[in-house]
Amino acid sequence: MRISGIDFPSIMMGTSVCDYKGNRRSLLKKVEESILFSIKSGKLGYDTARDYGNESILGKIFSSLIKKGEISREDLFITTKVGNNQQRLGDIRHELELSLKALRLDYLDLWLLHWPLPGHYLDNWKQMCEIYQSGMVKAIGIANCRERHILEMEKANVVLPHVIQIEYHPFRTVPRMVQMCKERNIQLEAYSANCLMLPFVRHNDILTSLAKKYSRTVGQIIMRWHVQQGVIPIFSSFNKAHIAENINIFDFELEESDMQKIFNLNIDYKFHPESLNCFSY
């Protein structure tokens, strides 16, 4: 899909290593192997953030793969985000330069504010818009925002995001936000696209029946549901089998009635409340 004049991948791979147990060397090897496997399996985007603490790890991996001729920079689509602590400091260009240095890149494909931090995000967004014009980033957006933040941006008469990244899955479909994005030509990205495959997701009667009908896994049904509606899903896994499962969804199509069955699962379930990461959200 084409957004802001550039080609976006249909699927993104999350790269957070916050919960990974092990030493740095084994971590680097595990992440490098999984990224190389994903590159060979299909063209993906890679989603990280300053607060994940892994920009330098990814920079080393991407630089190594490029030098080995395994990939070219043009084959990569890299996203990172400005954290709340960096937003409070207020020098957004400096934060971008730090991320680019850590990632060993000359530019970012997508750059996000990690949160619409009260009292800061509008001023920081204005800086991001100016930096976007310089070409250091190809597209800009905001993660974890709600309808009211878009309305506040419109009231402030600023350029709207190219991309909004939120928790979005069959059990949280936020129809008003989706409609608002469609009306404003904002691309929606879904983190935790499969709702972490929690037990109530894995064993849901509707999803398991659809998996049986299409001879797929529940995870593939969910990923296909995202892609088929034009949402970019983000999955997180360093397991090669799971990576392949999440990517191999382009040789079947869900019937419209089955798409609606999945939409009907919505219970506005959110496993990650904003207040955990963004005080006074």
- 106 contact partners, CB below 8 Å, separation of at least 6: 73, 100
Strand partners of residue 137: 108
Annotation marks residue 52 as catalytic: yes
Q: Where are the beta strands (DSSP E) in the chain?
A: 2-3, 6-7, 12-14, 45-47, 78-82, 110-113, 140-143, 163-167, 187-191, 232-236
Q: Which of 52, 121, 168, 191 is catalytic?
A: 52
Question: Does 114 show up as a binding residue in the annotation?
Answer: yes
- 227 contact partners, CB below 8 Å, separation of at least 6: 10, 11, 233, 249, 250
Whole-number Å distance between alpha carbons of 220 and 265: 16
Q: Which two tokens stand for residue 75?
A: 């084959």
39 class by beta-carbon count within 10 Å (0-12 exposed, 13-18 middle, 19+ buried): middle
For the annotated binding site, the residues are 114
For the annotated binding site for substrate, the residues are 114
Catalytic residues: 52
